[in-house]
Chains A and B, each alone.
Chain A
Amino acid sequence: MSTISLHDTHNHDSHDDHGHHKETFLTKYVFSQDHKMIAKQFLITGIIMAVIAMGLSILFRLQLAWPDTNFPILETFLGTWAEGGRIKPDFYLALVTIHGTIMVFFVLTAGLSGTFSNLLIPLQIGARDMASPFLNMLSYWFFFGACVIMMSSFFIQTGPASAGWTVYPPLSALPTAIKGSALGMTLWLISMIMFVASSLMGGINYVSTVLNMRTKGMDLWKMPLTIWAFFLTAILGILSFPVLVAGVVLLIFDRSFGTSFYLSDIVMGTQVLPNEGGSPILWQHLFWFLGHPEVYIVIMPALGISSEVISVNSRKPIFGYHAMIYSLIGITVLSFIVWGHHMFVTGMNPLLGGVFMITTLIIAVPSAVKTFNYLATLWRGNIKFTPAMLFAIGLVSFFISGGLTGIFLGNASLDINLHDTYFVVAHFHLVMGSAAIFGMLAGVYHWYPKMFGRMMSSKLGYLHFWLTFISAYLVFFPLHFLGLDGVPRRYYAFTEFEFMQKWLTVNVFVTWAAIIGALAQVAFLWNFFYNIFRGKKAPQNPWESNTLEWTTPVEHLHGNWPGEIPTVYRWPYDYSKPGSEADFIPQTVPFSQTMSSNMPHDFEGNTESERIQREWEAKNVPATEKLD
Chain B
Amino acid sequence: MSLRKFISNKTIAALAVILTAFASTSAFAQAAGAAAETVAKPVDMGPVYKTVIFYTMAFLLLCLFVAIIGKALKVYELTREAQDKPKGINWNTVNGTLFALFLIVGLYGVYWEYTVHGKMILPEAASEHGAKIDQMFNITLIITTIVFIATHIILFAFAYFYKNTGKRKAYYYPHNNALERIWTIVPALVLTVLVLMGFLTWRSIFYKIEDPNNKPLSIEITSSQFSWAIRYPGADGIVGVKNYKLINGVNQLGIDFKDKNTLDDQMADEMVIPVNKPVRLILTSKDVLHSFYMPHFRIQLNTVPGMTSYFEFTPTITTEEMKAKTNDPKFAYLFLCAKICGEGHYKMQKEVRVVSQAEYEAWVKKQGTYLTDDLRKEFGLPVTAAPAPAAAKPADSVAKDTSAVKTNQLALKK
Known: A316-B171, A414-B198. A493 touches B249 (CB 8 A): no
Interface residues of A in 527-573 (CB under 8 A from B): 532-533, 555, 557, 573
A413 to chain B, nearest CB (A): 4
CB pair B338 A488 closer than 8 Å: yes
Cα–Cα distance between A396 and B247 once the two chains are bound (Å):
55
CA gap between A171 and B346 in the complex, in Å: 15
- A29's nearest neighbour on chain B, judged by CB, is B13
Mark B70-82 against chain A: 1 for CB-CB distance below 8 A, else 0.
1001000000000
Main secondary structure of the interface of B (DSSP, over half): helix
Complex Cα gap A372–B339 (Å): 36
Q: How many A-B residue pairs have CB under 8 A?
A: 401
Closest to B196 in A: A358
Q: Which residue of B14, B287, B330 contacts A267 across the interface (Cβ within 8 Å)?
A: B287
B-side interface residues, number (CB < 8 Å): 144
- What residues of A have a CB within 8 angstroms of the CB of B164 in the complex? 315, 382-385
Which residue from A93, A485, A583 sits with its C-beta under 8 Å from B169? A583
In the complex, chain A residues 165-219 whose Cβ is within 8 Å of any chain B Cβ: 168, 170-171, 174, 177-179
A residues 129-167 near B (Cβ < 8 Å) are 155, 163-164
| A488 closest partner in B (C-beta) | B338
Question: What does the 1/0 interface line of B332-346 toward A look like (CB < 8 Å)?
Answer: 101011111111111
Which residues of B from 14 to 48 have beta carbons under 8 Å from A? 14, 28, 31-33, 35-36, 38-39, 41, 43, 45, 48
| Contact (Cβ within 8 A) A404 B148 | yes
Q: Which residues of A contact B349 (CB under 8 A)?
A: 496-497
Is the pair A265, B306 in contact by a Cβ cutoff of 8 Å?
A: yes
**CB-based contact A481/B173 at 8 Å:** no
Roughly how many angstroms separate A385 CA and B159 CA in the complex, as a whole number? Answer: 9
Query: Does the CB pair B199–A357 fall under 8 Å?
Result: yes
Complex CA–CA separation, A414 to B136 (angstroms): 7
Nearest CB in chain A to that of B106: its residue = A473
Q: Which of A295-334 contact B (CB under 8 A)?
A: 314-323
Measured between alpha carbons, how far is A350 from B289 in the docked complex, in Å?
Answer: 19
Whole-angstrom distance between the Cβ of A427 and the nearest chain B Cβ: 12
B307 within 8 A of A: yes
Complex contacts, B322 vs chain A, CB 8 Å: none
Complex interface bits, B398-414 against A, C-beta within 8 A gives 1, otherwise 0: 00000001100111110
8 further A-B pairs in the complex, CB-CB below 8 A; given A79-B36, A319-B174: A77-B28, A350-B206, A361-B198, A400-B148, A481-B113, A488-B293, A503-B120, A506-B117
Closest CB pairs A-B (n = 5): A486-B295, A79-B35, A264-B306, A347-B309, A350-B206
A-B contact pairs, 21 of them (CB 8 A): A75-B43, A76-B33, A83-B41, A90-B342, A171-B289, A177-B287, A279-B304, A314-B162, A320-B175, A320-B180, A347-B411, A350-B203, A365-B184, A380-B170, A385-B92, A385-B164, A400-B155, A417-B130, A417-B133, A460-B70, A532-B10
Interface residues of B (CB under 8 A from A): 1, 3, 6-7, 9-14, 28, 31-33, 35-36, 38-39, 41, 43, 45, 48-49, 52, 59, 63, 66, 70, 73, 91-92, 94-96, 98-99, 102, 106, 109-110, 113, 117-118, 120-122, 130, 132-133, 136-137, 140-141, 143-144, 147-148, 151-152, 154-156, 158-159, 162-164, 168-176, 179-180, 183-184, 187-188, 191, 194-195, 198-199, 201-203, 205-207, 224-225, 244-245, 247-249, 252, 254, 283, 286-289, 291, 293, 295-296, 298-302, 304-307, 309, 330, 332, 334, 336-347, 349, 405-406, 409-413
